Chain A
């Protein structure tokens, strides 16, 4: 192997909207630098290329929703020296994991004229539930600055700068006034993983939890406060049930309120 050979990059798509892959193309200023530093060997969204050999770095987007994909991810893992999952689908099952709370056959019967042609699994699951993952980059979609940092960190052999603390810290670094304390706007920031740069609170909106649960989240305590701001059990069931609905702390909290709601 040529010593000056650049690391080979593969970008893989599973069940997803392609938004996170697009973040890579959206890098614009950095894209030439990325192309200069790594050999983009497989990236169907951007270039034609055959699957062949081993990839030094694989970026995996999307969740596993079919038996075929459950097989395919095993092959991707075998071909990848480092496997990094990108986005809420790949790290938590995505918005399509809402199926995990219902009967997917029922859905299929309502949506499709011939549901018998639909071969899908009962649940949408994160890549890490199928194969070992070296690093998970959160977000719906991922933050392109963080993506570039993850690639640069991989090349330099250092740790990526993607802290697992709350969105609140990002708000405070920016100087945002807390929307929940000052405006009684329900906000998931205190239980949500940083990375977006506190996008919604910077525009006077509460956080929607796009980056999933932060480290050691305390959703039950936040829910008590959200209830005080006027959210009923139904609203609490739904607030945790979006792009990261299948992430365990959000799923548990959502189901806790769902159970309450169905009882009441």
Chain B
């Protein structure tokens, strides 16, 4: 086990200040619009101290904790995707000058981002988006510029949400890679503190500036116990079988039509998903025809336009759109990118306006096969 350190809340405040001094825009959890969202944080006071969240399918509520924990909740409605892979982005603008048209590409942003409180599932989601957006032959320069300079402070989860299922996706609740520093919130003698693990040279360099001390064996055990408790209290689980094969065997399953009765095709699941990366482009021009521009915005496989080609939409029915999303996320993502596209964060379950649960949908298909198998066995 690697060496770990301890700092108290003052250390976390010092961390925020040190990042600001280095020119980072520090973004972390804070309360807004009745939820824990990610926004600019300047001091410990901006964090949701003493709050937690209650999450169920289609339901999210803020609630008070009976302690003063700073990270005592699961993930909220937003993900870091919002900052790395922006919802709206102008790609270029063009201007007519006499006989010429001058096209100017949007320069990548130079802002340096520091993320505070990134959970294990979210680290996996960022790793997945890295693979998709900058890992192949075609690199998205906008994502790349934001991602390359980003400093990541992870937090090992001390509380599992009602819709969390990272354990069954092997993506948490412990942060294992992809961070500069990782914190575990602990109750120490005389107040809260953090067990700190270093994940990169940049993290080590920053930690050296902070008021910390080496962690004791007991404190490291305490940190492990926090994560173990969280792992044991997951709100949900994905069925433990080869989901990739399960879904590919069941492309004509009646469950797709059943879920389409409930699905609103509103696209909320794809918007809140930290790995969904699809975009569309829109062209604009001014009334005189002298200036035009192209904007990229998040799109979703749940819209008709998404699969529109000459003659109409390829997936006019909601059953085919839900199936496209779920089979891509859980199955064909393996073929395309080598991993699952799901990290078990539970956002699609919580933020579905009618509470459709991806683990329940998978289980329904899985259970129907078992029933069928049992019936076959009897006959």
| Interface residues, chain A, with chain B CB atoms under 8 Å away | 30, 33-34, 36-37, 148-149, 151-153, 155-156, 158, 161, 163-166, 168-169, 172-178, 180-184, 187, 189-191, 204, 214-218, 221-222, 224-225
Contacts and interface: CB of A to CB of B under 8 A. Distances in A.
B60 interface: yes
B204 interface: no
The 7 closest A-B pairs by CB, nearest first: A172-B271, A177-B33, A190-B266, A166-B266, A190-B264, A33-B287, A168-B266
Contacts of A149: 284
Contacts of B60: 178, 181-182
Of listed B32, B33, B287, B302, residue having the most chain A CB within 10 A: B287
Interface of B: 32-35, 37, 58-62, 77-78, 82, 87-88, 261-268, 271-272, 282-289, 292, 297-298, 300, 302-305, 316, 318, 350-351, 353-355
B266 A216 contact: no
A184 B59 CA distance: 8
A182 B267 contact: no
Given A173-B297, A191-B264, A222-B354, 6 more contacts: A33-B286, A177-B33, A178-B60, A204-B33, A216-B265, A221-B262
Nearest to A172: B271
10 contacts: A152-B286, A166-B265, A169-B271, A176-B33, A183-B34, A189-B353, A190-B264, A204-B33, A217-B264, A221-B261
Contacts of B303: 163-165, 169, 215
B264 A222 contact: yes
A38 to B, nearest CB: 8
B77 to A, nearest CB: 5
A181 B269 CA distance: 12
A219 to B, nearest CB: 9
Nearest to A167: B266
B298 A168 contact: no
Nearest to A225: B354
Contacts of B267: 165-166, 168-169, 172
Of listed A152, A165, A180, residue having the most chain B CB within 10 A: A165
Nearest to A183: B34
B318 A216 contact: yes
Contacts of A176: 33
Contacts of A161: 282-284
Given A36-B288, A190-B353, A182 B264 contact: no
A127 to B, nearest CB: 23
Given A33-B287, A152-B286, A215-B303, A182 B37 contact: no
A89 to B, nearest CB: 25
A172 B304 contact: no
Nearest to B86: A173
Contact of B77 (A152, A166, A177, A215): A177
Nearest to A161: B282
A181 B353 contact: yes
